[in-house]
Chain A
């Protein structure tokens, strides 16, 4: 039994060490596209400037309060942009990665190595799961400095914890999207619609109070709303330990469901493609 456990653990370690190889591959690839690498930042800067202008015509009275203080629209929306862009970019990259591998002919080469599908899934997104949150943090820092936003430094660890609890959910969405890509090639629309719905109904750009009453109820159980709202509380007002645990706990539970659902969808898609014999087709 101990030998079996040791073998399993050694196998798991070997699989995890492969994730580092994926990280290196994707870092080298990203660095080879330096112009795209920097243009993403320029795009984010334009988006921030746009919302700054929008913020000047928004009535502050319509915005929620955090810790008794009313946020400015820029403070409110900066967190929303950061989290929404994080979700959109991560999901897009996770599913695009599989499509990219299909088109490049490398998916078959990957699947012909003695690597588990789970490692391939994790490895394919490891770079984005690390890079995108870092990019999000830097964006928030630059926006706070550039537009004079009042974020609580003490809320940063709590915001980071919320993000960590939320990342697997986004990954799960990405895997589900990848499964759709694997099965219907360009048919990621279903996931795109779901994603757009999640983002629109999350209060990322507008307060939930602005939604119709029936939508407000749905928005409150939207995991993205919970993450965005939690991070706003953490960064704009600080967060008590109890509040933080509650938020992170809900997100962690949602993440478990998201990852299991995504992994199952991918497994089913892979199995279906092998049965149909169309795995390497594009």
Chain B
């Protein structure tokens, strides 16, 4: 069992002139079991102010349990958890004052009353006066583009609208920490992008964000750091480029002419295996070249030349987050 950890400077501390970013979440060696199931097994994690930290992993990896531990709703068996320096299970109210949570699951609102009344209600529980609550609710409803539907009962909202309302609720208290559980899970791409934009804006304003998701590709260009959790254990913790290195299978997209075969196993003059050539989904004269470990691109291209192929173009294939994810998960299980 290996944990791939990356020793990087915390977000915001890269430039020497910048002060180090405040660590909002500190999780150290946390263990939690439910009966015989070890949901969290020595999980460590840190999230800095203004950082979007993606938490990915297969179903049952322990993502939601970790989120619930951070809210204080689930106690740990052992380990150390601090939110803004506070133990969430002991200082729950103080933590909740600066915490915004988008819970998983479709329903978490009073369906018979309007979106606006729901937000006003939760704002009141955050300590706003009625007047302040109404103003804040209206402001957030506009921000999540629900102003027109504000007075309709939530039961008439689509899933995407309910998610946006949940994000608005999470932002009510101008949180220092946002915990977001599968917020884009069942949203169309447009709604998902809108939700991510809202969260990104909150992070720009200084909120630390823990974002759990199954939509792996959405963390590209969105998350600053990634933690991959599997069976309660951290398999990877680092930046996205470092995660993607695990997907680097040395693949190249080629355009070739003069080739008479659809696929080929490439070998060097001494019989060394160099890689495989397969047709690309793009069809026509497009191919995918996957190099074997240790093989050099030049040798493979030379082998293709000896087969009568003429190289028209060559570019490196972009590794997918999913490939990196699968490499790490499968690697840990074999």
Q: Complex: how many Å from CA A113 to CA B126?
A: 6
A29, A33, A108, A114: which contacts B125 (Cβ < 8 A)? A114
Could you tell me the dominant secondary structure of chain A's interface residues?
helix
Taking CB as reference atom, which chain A residue is nearest B64? A280
Q: Are B32 and A114 in contact (CB under 8 A)?
A: no
Within 8 A of B (CB), among A1-51: 14, 17-18, 20-22, 24-25, 28-29, 32-33
Q: Which of B9-51 contact A (CB under 8 A)?
A: 32, 34, 39
When the two chains form the complex, which single residue of A32, A110, A115 contacts B112, counting CB atoms closer than 8 Å? A32
B110 at the interface (CB under 8 A from A): yes
Q: Using C-beta atoms within 8 Å of the partner chain, give the interface range for chain A.
A: 20 to 34
Size band of the B side of the interface?
A: 35 or more
Residue picked from B34, B73, B105, B169, most chain A C-beta under 10 Å:
B73
**A112's contact among B39, B99, B106, by CB below 8 Å, is which?**
B99
Q: Is the CB of A104 within 8 A of B110?
A: yes
CB of B117 within 8 A of CB of A109, answer no
Contacts of B72 in A (CB 8 A): 274
B32 touches A277 (CB 8 A): yes
Q: Mark interface residues in B97-127 (1 if CB within 8 Å of A CB, else 0).
A: 1010101011111111100010011101111
B96 on the interface (CB 8 Å rule)? yes
> A112 to chain B: which residues have CB within 8 Å?
71, 73, 96, 99, 101, 103
Residue contact A114 to B97, C-beta cutoff 8 Å? yes
Q: Within the assembled complex, what's the spacing in Å between the Cα atoms of A102 and B112?
A: 16
* Closest A residue to B93 using CB positions: A114
Q: What are the residues of chain A within 8 A of B99 when measuring CB–CB?
A: 112
**A29-B112, A105-B107, A114-B126 known; A274-B121 Cβ under 8 A:** no
Pairwise interchain contact B113-A29, C-beta atoms closer than 8 A: yes
Interface residues of A (CB under 8 A from B): 14, 17-18, 20-22, 24-25, 28-29, 32-33, 104-106, 108-116, 274-277, 279-280
Closest 4 CB pairs of A and B: A21-B124, A113-B125, A277-B74, A32-B112
